[in-house]
Amino acid sequence: MSSPDFNLLATLDVLLAEGSVARAAQRLRLSPSAMSRALARLRDTIGDPLLVRAGRGLVPTPRALELRDRVAQLVQDAEAVLRPAEALDLQRLVRIFTLRTHDGFVENFGPDLIARIGTQASGVRLRFVQKPNKDSTPLRDGTVDLETGIVGKTTSPEVRAQALFRDRLIGVVRLGHELSQGRITPTRYAAGRHISVSRRGLDRGPIDEALLPLGLQRNIATIVSGFSTALSLARASDLIASVPERHTGNLRSGMHSFPLPVAMPEVTVALLWHPRLDADPAHRWLRACVRDTCAPTQRAPCETAATTAQDRIEPHTEDG
């Protein structure tokens, strides 16, 4: 069976609305003979004469009357699909966005982001889920709308990525800890009892690699999977936590923070999404909200061009 010619729907809509081959031809800017041929094709396709002679005019058949409203609606729907998207109305937007983030992001940036979203679009809700790995499948299959993290080797190449902020590892201890006073040397730092942050349970990471040429080694007292847990332990003990500075700003309130005494590279925390959402107005607005919330200083919302995930960045956590 051959595929139907959907162009005939628009022709049928005009014929049934006008009830005249001549007027339909004029409206569609066709010749009367071309419109007569189109009517013949419609009659053959539908198996009904559709318009029949009655005196000097044409009248619709029962089948034509049955189809008239349905065809008009189909044509309107098709035209709506082929038009550019309407301007985003935040006051009427009702949607749930799922954001996959690392430990500390919600605690540090969540309150401001939720407040910003609520002020601009009260019908929008945010669903935050943990990011246990760098697998891009949730972005690809649509279960996650937006993600934050470091672009790595396992990030799918089609994923879009845009920088949010630069971050670096710092040391954190409770107030009154011996490292809260005096100059922090590599020896003083390494001599303390440390918390290793590793999703994979590793007790060694980039910091240990940086200490190795100095002949120093950290004393790892415990291993945890997240920064907030590490800070909670450090707050209530003499343990030393080494965590990302920007990711943990709110979580470190009332604690003493210090630069690490060994050279550690800064990293770029990025916003990641699937390219099918590039042009979605609501998603573009959400991305701008996240960027503005994470910006070091307040700035006006704007949409900038996204880079691709080809710009690989090494992870900044203990185990990536």
Residue 181 shares a structural domain with residue 249? yes
Residue 283 resides in a domain:
yes
Residue 110 shares a structural domain with residue 155? yes
Any alpha helices (H) in 47-104, and if so which ranges? 62-82
Residue, of 34 and 135, whose pLDDT is higher? 34
Q: How far apart are CA 276 and CA 232, in angstroms?
A: 39
pLDDT at 154: 67
Q: How far apart are CA 312 and CA 150, in angstroms?
A: 8
Residue 139 shares a structural domain with residue 281? yes
For residue 163, give the CATH number of its domain. Answer: 3.40.190.10
- Domain closes at, from 60, 82, 104: 82
pLDDT tens profile 197-233: 988 888 888 999 999 999 999 999 999 988 999 999 9
pLDDT tens profile 224-245: 988 999 999 999 999 999 999 9
pLDDT at 40: 93
Strand bridging mode 240-244 / 124-130: unpaired
Residue 263 pLDDT more than 90?
Answer: yes
Residue 143 shares a structural domain with residue 182? no
Supply the range of the domain harboring residue 107.
95-167+267-308
Residue 215 resides in a domain:
yes
pLDDT at 85: 66
pLDDT tens profile 265-289: 998 999 999 998 988 999 999 999 9
Residue 180 shares a structural domain with residue 223? yes
Residue 111 resides in a domain:
yes
pLDDT at 287: 96
Residue 177: what residue type? H
pLDDT tens profile 42-100: 999 999 999 998 888 889 999 999 998 899 888 888 877 777 666 889 999 999 999 99
Residue 55 shares a structural domain with residue 16? yes
Residue 320 pLDDT more than 90?
Answer: no
pLDDT at 317: 42
pLDDT averaged over every residue in the chain: 86
Please give the distance of CA 306 from its chain centroid, rounded to a whole number.
12
Residue, of 262 and 298, whose pLDDT is higher? 262
Residue 117 pLDDT more than 60?
Answer: yes
- Domain closes at, from 43, 59, 82: 82
pTM, 2 dp? 0.67
Residue 28 shares a structural domain with residue 173? no
Residue 32 shares a structural domain with residue 76? yes
CA neighbor of 294 nearest in space, from 228, 243, 244: 244
pLDDT at 314: 36
| Contact (CB, 8 A) for 317 and 247 | no
| Tally of CA atoms within 13 A in the half-sphere of 116 that contains its CB | 18
Residue 316 resides in a domain:
no
Residue 202 shares a structural domain with residue 239? yes
| Tally of CA atoms within 13 A in the half-sphere of 111 that contains its CB | 6
Residue 230 resides in a domain:
yes
pLDDT at 279: 85
Residue 314 resides in a domain:
no
pLDDT at 283: 95
pLDDT at 96: 96
CA neighbor of 237 nearest in space, from 288, 290, 177: 177
- Domain closes at, from 27, 48, 82: 82
Residue 230 shares a structural domain with residue 279? no
Residue 159 shares a structural domain with residue 175? no
pLDDT at 300: 37
pLDDT tens profile 122-178: 999 999 998 877 778 888 888 999 999 888 776 778 889 999 999 999 999 999 999
pLDDT at 157: 81
Residue 27 shares a structural domain with residue 103? no
Q: How many domains does the chain have?
A: 3
Token pair belonging to 282:
């609501």
Residue 88 resides in a domain:
no
For residue 22, give the CATH number of its domain. Answer: 1.10.10.10
Residue 245 resides in a domain:
yes
